[in-house]
Amino acid sequence: MQFNEIKNILFEKALKKGFEDCEIYYVKGNSFGINIYKGEIEKYQNNENIGLSFRGIINGKAGYSYTENIDKSVFDFLIESAISNAEIIGNNEKEFIYKGDENYSKAAVYCEDINSLTIEDKINIAKRMEKAVLNYSPLIKSSNNCSISNGEQSVFIANTKGLNLSEKSNYLIAYASASADNKTQVKNAGEIYCGNLKNLNPKKIGETAAIKAISYLYANSVKSGKYNVVFKNDAFSSLVMPFIGNFYAENVQKGFSLLKGKIGKKIASDIITIKDLPLLKEGLASCSFDSEGVSSKDKCVIENGVLKTYLYNLKSANIDGVSSTGNGFKSGFKSNVSTSATNFYIKESDISYNKLLKNMGDGIVITELSGLHSGTDSISGDFSLAAEGFLIKDGSIEGAIEQITVAGNFYELLKNIKCTADDIYYSLPSSNGSVCTPSVFAGMMDIAGL
């Protein structure tokens, strides 16, 4: 069935049943993935997904229901389920069916060149990555995972207030792993690419994974103490991710963030500017509208260290008497709307990564973090994380480091950042969006080692 046919039938039935206003959220898509191991296909996945959620206001209450069976025969059941749901749920929060905005900017979320890839092309790309890994050095002993995946998804939102939106997006991801062995240590590393077909370079992806793995060989720990620390861009991205929720208005309102009452106040270093950029051209979490139908707008969260705004959905915006920032998102058609960032972008400088290390002089560059779920307290901002990286002497790498722990506080870290580099990294999207960040010189931090 076509979306407009689904919409018309559901709305007609729902209004006859007494719904004052209602909305449907419909998604359909597909994905393909293939893994290569020792030149052969190890795993092959080809999936399709489709689903529809219905939400309506009846007798002043909101009812929800959803289905994966898009057929006229289930529409009556879908509506009756929403009615029953509204009667059972004792939630007094105000619900919103959004009428829409006058203008919607078009985000660049679909790459036509991805569609030109055949299955044979994808297999060949994965094999080329594996070959590049294995041929790079005698120290490389294996590649446990060279994979490529792609997919596309269409989202449709419509309601009885006249909203009728749709957007089609797609993606391409390639990944190569490498295992290096010097007979005393085995080190693993990987390299991931997400973007368009034009910039995909299988040989470079494979060789980069190999270089990373080899660079971690001959690693040692260091004595515990305070060290100057640089976080490499992808490591800093992973550190920032658990704390993005502190900027969500709903968490501020519920007391789950220490940023309450901090709008207009300095909370970070002067050099820190953070924006939420749903319209970012190369952003991996870009979108033209959120899951509530609010148009996407780029906004500044922190400007030169000063907190400018929280991120709002319709409910949290209503509580604070402001407009939604367009950050109300569903994690899937079955879920309720919550808050999420899109491309959470930390402004870069014009300083190269190597220059950043020179500016630090002596210290540690952290390239890998682990334990991010158990080692972070999203409310207090405290973190204590296992880490790997390199010892830096006079601005140059002296050797690899392992078995260390870095500890600190996210809020204090924002205040202490001395410098950023120009090497923006885009993380894969999660429930908190995509973190886009350069490498940063974080100043002195506590390192536990020997």
Whether 34 and 132 map to the same domain: the answer is yes
Output the pLDDT for position 115.
87
* In-domain check, residue 315: yes
Q: What is the pTM of this model?
A: 0.95
* In-domain check, residue 62: yes
Structure tokens at 157: 């939102």
Whether 255 and 200 map to the same domain: the answer is no
Output the pLDDT for position 91.
62
Whether 374 and 266 map to the same domain: the answer is yes
Residue 66's CATH number: 3.30.2290.10
Output the pLDDT for position 341.
98
Instruction: From 215, 247, 263, give the residue that closes a domain.
Output: 215
Whether 122 and 256 map to the same domain: the answer is no
Segment 312-336, tens digit of pLDDT: 999 999 999 999 999 999 999 999 9
Instruction: From 196, 215, 234, give the residue that closes a domain.
Output: 215
Q: How many domains in the chain? A: 2
Output the pLDDT for position 334.
92
* In-domain check, residue 220: no
Which residues does the chain have with pLDDT short of 70? 90-92
Output the pLDDT for position 90.
61
Output the pLDDT for position 88.
84
217 vs 180: CA distance, rounded Å: 7
Helix (H) or strand (E) holding 210: helix 202-215
* In-domain check, residue 257: yes
Contact 49, 155 (CB under 8 A): no
Interior CA angle at 250 toward 283 and 316, to 5°? Answer: 95
Nearest Cα to 360, choosing from 232, 266, 228, 242?
228
* In-domain check, residue 29: yes
Whether 114 and 188 map to the same domain: the answer is yes
Whether 84 and 124 map to the same domain: the answer is yes
- Please count the other Cβ atoms lying within 10 Å of the Cβ belonging to residue 150: 20
Whether 234 and 262 map to the same domain: the answer is yes
Maximum alpha-carbon separation in the chain: 75
Whether 174 and 270 map to the same domain: the answer is no
Output the pLDDT for position 93.
72
Whether 195 and 254 map to the same domain: the answer is no
Q: For the chain, give me the number of helices (H) and strands (E)?
A: 9, 21
Output the pLDDT for position 89.
73
Whether 100 and 247 map to the same domain: the answer is no
Output the pLDDT for position 108.
94
Output the pLDDT for position 87.
86
* In-domain check, residue 343: yes
* Domain extent at residue 373: 225-448
Output the pLDDT for position 267.
98
Instruction: From 194, 215, 236, give the residue that closes a domain.
Output: 215
238 vs 213: CA distance, rounded Å: 19
Structure tokens at 128: 């080329």
Whether 244 and 202 map to the same domain: the answer is no
Whether 154 and 271 map to the same domain: the answer is no
